[in-house]
Amino acid sequence: MVRVFNWKTIPPAPFPFLKSGAFHNMRRAGTYVSHRGTRRGQVARGVQCLLDRGVEFRTEFLVRAAERVADPGQLAGAIDNERCRDAIRARSRHPFAKHSSVEESQQILDRFIAAGGNFIDTANFYTKGHSEKIIGDHIGRDPAKRDRLVIATKFSGNLYPGDPNGGGSGRKSVIKACEHSLRRLQTDYIDLYWLHNWDVNTPIDETMAALEDLVRSGKVRHVGVSDTPAWKVVEANVTARFRGWTAFVGLQIEYSLLERSVEQELVPMARELGLGITPWSPLKSGALSGKYTRKSAGQVKGDRGFFLDPFINERTYAVVDELEVIARAHDSTVARVAIAWLQAQPGVTSTIIGARRLAQLEDNLKAVDVRLTAEELLRLDALTKPAFGFPQNMQAIFPAIHNGGTTVNGVHAPPSGFVMERGDKPY
């Protein structure tokens, strides 16, 4: 008879390869966090042993074991049962993207560092904290690597359903999130700590005061802000500077040839306040990777359909067509040219590459060698130039109002009739 167990109801059993308490932890589907890595193999062997005895696990148990105990690929690979492997891989993914395996993540980190990269960005809730743990296991515990790298992570994400104080930007959440990130990253300080997104329920001065305390305690070196309106960033930094607190030094925003609305307020604000701009999704969830062209329309399925599908359209194909032309001129690729355009934009200091495979990283890294001509930049700019609303849509007439018919900083305009006609005299 095959018995079907729920993850909560698996009975204890004396397996010789499990130390005291280990099988109890496995019964709880890996609710302990195996940060020491000592029992991952034991859990996999325990599952396999039960499978060999005819036990059929519910998918929920396998998913929890994969999420809490090890990388989904690790546990799946250790189990000799096709149905269980498929269940783990299918049900243990991030909602919007496929995972890299731990091994490939380590290879990507090593290759990035070997190529001269020194800035690694993550967040507390990426893959439920596993992203931070992978970085900690591979880099945090190695002082020779850790000391030469800038490690950035973010707070705001709530990992504790049912707890309203488990996320957001209140003091309790900010400090606790930092402590958990430090533990997973296996380091005693975070180089750059980002506010991940604006928490409308928390006064910004409470957030800035908590961040100041983290900086003064040595747990955080610098702070930055992501996905927040320009006016709120200005309020935060002005408040911090008046009170002698640490202010935001970086701005992380979505920015690409297909996402330029940030040029209306956020980019000018960052340049005015001296915040370094760090774009995320430079390839617009893969739309500018070169995979999605007129020829391949309908033939290639993206991994991030939720974000990607709305942008596979005629406008994107027109941009990719031009990117292909420029890429051929540089003996390069569509993705590299798209990243090179972004790197050439005013205020951009670093670009986040979300490579999931080593081959993607290798290609994207070569974007640093692409130098687009002024004419090529203008061609790409013209294809996606955004139309801004008020008051930016009036800025073109301001030199005629301000400059009195002279040239100021290289900009000339005849006097505006709205101000003074030639020969008129002011009252």
Residues labelled as active-site residues: 126
**Tokens coding 137:** 């296991």
**Which among 172, 217, 167, 219 is positioned nearest to 193, based on CA atoms?**
219
Decide: residue 176, CB within 10 A, 0-12 exposed, 13-18 middle, 19+ buried. Answer: middle
Q: What SS3 class is residue 259?
A: strand
Q: 298: helix, coil or strand?
A: coil
**CA–CA separation, 14 vs 35, rounded Å?**
24
Task: Please give the Cα distance from 148 to 163 (Å, whole number).
Answer: 37
DSSP 3-state assignment of 414? coil
What does the CA dihedral 93, 284, 107, 148 come to, rounded to 10 degrees?
A: -120
CA distance 277 to 266: 9
For residues 132 and 126, is the Cβ–Cβ distance under 8 A? Answer: yes
Tokens 């690790």, residue? 74
Cis peptide preceding 391, ω within 30 of 0: yes
Report how far residue 180's alpha carbon sits from residue 186's, in angstroms, rounded to the nearest whole number.
10
Q: Which residue is listed with tokens 């701009």?
A: 277
What is each CA distance from 48 to 68, 83, 121, 262, in whole angstroms?
17, 12, 36, 51
On whether the CB atoms of residues 96 and 304 are closer than 8 A, the answer is yes
Q: Which long-range contacts (CB under 8 A, 24 or more apart) does 341-346 make?
A: 341/257, 341/372, 341/377, 341/380, 342/255, 342/256, 342/257, 342/279, 342/282, 343/367, 343/368, 344/372, 344/377, 345/255, 345/267, 345/277, 346/267, 346/271
